[in-house]
Amino acid sequence: MKRATLLVAASYIVVLSISASAQEVFKGEWMGRFENNKFWVSLGTASDRSNWMLSSSLDLEIEKLKGLTAMQGNSEAAPVHFELARDAGTVVFDGMMRNGQGLGDYRFSPSQDYVSALRAMGYDNLSGEQLLRLALRDVNRAFVKEMRAAGYDAATIDEIVRLRNHNITSGFIREMKGLGLDSLSVEQVVRLSNHQINAAFIQEMKSAGYDGLSVEQLVRLRNHKIDASYVKSIGDAGYKTLEVEQLIRMRSRSVTPEYVRELKALGYENLPAETLVRLRSRDVGPTFIRQLSDAGHKDLSAEDLIYIRDHGLDAYSRRHIRRAQ
């Protein structure tokens, strides 16, 4: 059965309207599929009263969906009715499934106990969109309390949902605080977690001589795959106590310890880090230097090599003659 046929079949499903504390109707359409022992579902919602739209996709363990089994999903066209029960409320799905794919309508009933509990924590007048997001992302009361106790008592509901989406725990927040990263914004703590920056990485960089790094510096170091091993290897090649930005530029331009040693063997040693970056970015390596030497151009400076690579040997020769006059 194709999508159009499923839509026709689903159109016969009766959609019930329910009222929440704000007398708002929570309903919409869903599409889903079974994949890797999970059920991926995408929801679209429109509210007649507030005229807001919601589009959300999430993967769910089948065990979380009461009334839905993999066998049902893989059968020939068959009606399905299943529920997703959360602390924030219950989402009821009705529709049709065929060969692991389906679509239909859903309705959401917020939990009034949940609404009251969040109101007591200062989250009053929650919108329909917020309540549904809280349910879909499984933002339970315990998690809200946990984040507030961890220092995010002023976080908005949308920020609390963001913390949940990225699996932030109070343990991770305490870990960062213990390393001097205190008073982090929601965006900052999420960035650290997303880039797998944990206590081990921060301690590793600290032992390599980089203490008191900012969130932005830690993220950039991680993004460029700079760890204590790279710091040590480039230090052993003669470049110790580099600034973070210098490390990043060297790494991003593939300035390796081997490259440094190759240039040193040809007489180019103790070059500034930025000069190494400029040479590497222009593909000035041992082969290029030897070719120039074989052509009679020996003892060229690093700046000469860069000029020749940028402008050509003829231009360099003319400039050399002018300067000699």
What pTM, to 2 d.p., does this model score? 0.78
At residue 1, the pLDDT reads 42
At residue 63, the pLDDT reads 84
Order of strands across the sheet that contains 89-98: 53-61, 38-46, 27-35, 101-110, 89-98, 78-86, 65-66
At residue 6, the pLDDT reads 42
At residue 73, the pLDDT reads 60
At residue 321, the pLDDT reads 78
Under a CB-based contact definition with an 8 Å cutoff, are residues 31 and 102 in contact?
A: yes
Give the chain's residues under pLDDT 70: 1-25, 46-56, 73-75, 325
At residue 50, the pLDDT reads 47
At residue 24, the pLDDT reads 56
Q: What is the pLDDT of residues 224-234, one digit of tens each?
A: 999 999 999 99
